Structure 1
C-alpha cells in the first residue's frame, strides 16, 4: 500500500517540499534543512543558552521531520510553526532534565523608565541581552524568541507553545518587564546610567 501524501497548501511555501519528504525524497529534505536550519538553531540557542545543545536539537528536529513528515497537516498550522513546536518541545525536554523548568511564575517587576532600545545603544548589546534572556524562565524566553527573533505572529507563536493568545501575551509582558529590569540593572553596574536619574544617560 502506498504511503498517504501530505495535502499541499498552495499558501505555504514549504508544502510541496514536505509532501516530497513524506514520499522519501532526500533532496527535498536537504532543501528544507538549508531553508530552516538557522532559524531552528537560533530558536534552540536562545531557549537553551547552549550552542552545542542547540545544534543537537536542530539536528533532532530535522530527523523528526524526516520520520514524521506525513503527520503535518496544513490546515492545522503553518509548516514553520509545526517545525518550531517540535524544536521547542525538544528544548523543554532538555530543560526538564536540567531541572530548569519550575514554572513561569515570577515576581512582578516595576517598569523601568529606560526602554530596552535606549539601554542597548549605550551598552554592549549582544552580551547584555544574551545574559538577560538566559535568566528568563524557559517559556518566557521562548515566547520572546518566537515573536521578536523569529518574527512570528502572536497567533502562530501561541500555537507553537500550545497556549492561548492571552497566555502568550502574558508571557511576553512578564518577559519584557524582566528584560527591562535586567538591562537597566546591568547598565547601572557598568556606569552607563545614574542610579537616581531615571532615563538619564552618561
Structure 2
C-alpha cells in the first residue's frame, strides 16, 4: 500500500460522514460510503423495516470492497465510511483507522432527530455502552495476530514513530462537538502532511 487508505468508523451519529466529506474536500480523497454502496449495488439479502436498514450480504460485500480497495482504487487515496466491520480486512485494506465516539445521551438526541425507530435507538445505544466498535477493531487485530500502532491523542507526538504505509495506525477520538470535530480534522491534516 503506497497510498492512504483511511477507515472512519463509529456508531451512527458520531460524525463519520462529516469527517469523510471534509477529507474528500481538503485532501482530494476518494470517498466511499459503504452504506450507499450496499444500497446502490444491492449488496443485501433483506431489509429490516423495524430498524429501517438493509441486511447486507457479508461475503458479497467483502468481495466487492476487496476488489474496489485493492484493484479499482489502488492508485488513489481512499477514505471509507462504515460502522459494521465484521466482514472487513482491516489490516490489508487500511493504514489508518479512525474510531469516533460520542456519549449515549448525545447519540440518543441525534437518533431522535433522525427519526430512528425505538428499536434502532435501543440497539445502537446498547452497542455504544458495550463499546462494540472497539471490540471489533481491536478484536480483529488480536484474533489475527496482526500488529497495529495506536496513535496518541496529541498527533504532534506521532512524528516519533517510524512511519510506514504498511503499518495500520489507529486513532480514537470523541466527536461530540463541532470544536472537537474541527480539532480532529486539523490534527489529521497535519498528521497526513507531516508523514507523506
* TM-score with structure 1 setting the length: 0.30
More strand by percentage: 2
More helix by percentage: 1
* Larger of the two Rg values belongs to structure: 1
